[in-house]
Amino acid sequence: MPISSAATNTLDIRPLSGALGAEILGIDLAHDLGDETIAAIRAAWLEHLVVFFRDQQLEPAQLLGVARRFGEPVEYPFVKGLDGFPQITPVIKLEHEKVNFGGLWHSDTAYLDKPPMATMLIARETPPRGGDTLFANMYFAYETLSDGLRRVLDGLTAVNSSAKADVTKTREDRIKDSAKTDARQEYNAEHPVVRTHPETGRKALYVNGGHTVRFKDMSGAESAPLLNYLFGHMTRPEFTCRFRWEPGSIALWDNRCTQHNPVNDYHGHRRVMHRVTLAGDVPR
């Protein structure tokens, strides 16, 4: 469905790239925002897929309060949340660690039956350089495929697992010090390879290198050639934007039509983020 420009004309919106991403300036999220402003932010988010805010001073309770204006916060299955705020997951890489949390292209927790609609991330401590996050537009990734390949993919289902080796390695440091005791050893979910966004009606690729292991009714070996092609295609530079974090920066991305990749280029420095994921629905 088209997004009304009237809904966003009250905001100072600065697009980050031709593909996706926009900074929204002049808003202090610590203050109570009216319904009209929230609606305008949401419209900008649906249009740009990920929106960013700078210089936000939000304590954990305030962060959750802002997140609740856009959806229902849910807990991450593997790592404990902050004390008193279980829906806020610390995303941390310490000075001596070499692997960063979630450090590969992925959409969040695609191995759940109902993956999150959105993720809100705030930077608490950032390295002097590096630690940027890349985002990619999965609408464009789908729309730029040939008609023939789109017809093939429209009929396929992907099998997603939390136990894929590349992504489990990115959790290891946090599992050592803050694992949830009630987490299952493995989560698995089947989702359409191409999902239709419930709010915009657009189709987006919904497989990712972190979680997708094969196509349903096919072996991993049979699935690999096409999956590997898609994993490379969907992160082409013209589909992406890059965001440089500063303390107080916030990103809010649409998990239904984007992927992201936190760049691991700041060894020897500490990076601390707080993440809130918002409940989603069953991909269709």
179/237 Cα distance (integer angstroms): 35
In the numeric block, which tokens belong to residue 238? 């013209």
The residue count for the chain: 284
Closest by CA position to 140, among listed 269, 278, 264, 17: 17
> Which residue in the block uniquely carries the two structure tokens 């916030």?
250
CB-based contact 259:235 (threshold 8 Å): yes
Given 106, 195, 197, 274, the catalytic residue: 106
Rounded to whole angstroms, the Cα distance separating 206 from 157 reads 10
Does residue 124 have an active-site annotation?
no
Within the chain, how many helices (H) and strands (E) appear?
6, 16
Contact residues for 147 (Cβ-Cβ < 8 A; gap 6+): none
* Residue 176 to residues 161, 171, 196, Cα–Cα distance (Å): 20, 9, 37
How far is residue 42's CA from residue 278's CA, in Å, rounded to a whole number?
Answer: 14
Tell which residue, 166, 174, 11, has the closest CA to residue 80.
Answer: 174
Question: Do the beta carbons of residue 57 and residue 247 sit within 8 Å?
Answer: no
Pairing mode, strands 50-53 and 22-25: parallel
Annotated catalytic residue 108: yes
Q: Active-site residue among 108, 173, 211, 274?
A: 108
Residues annotated as catalytic are 106, 108, 260, 275
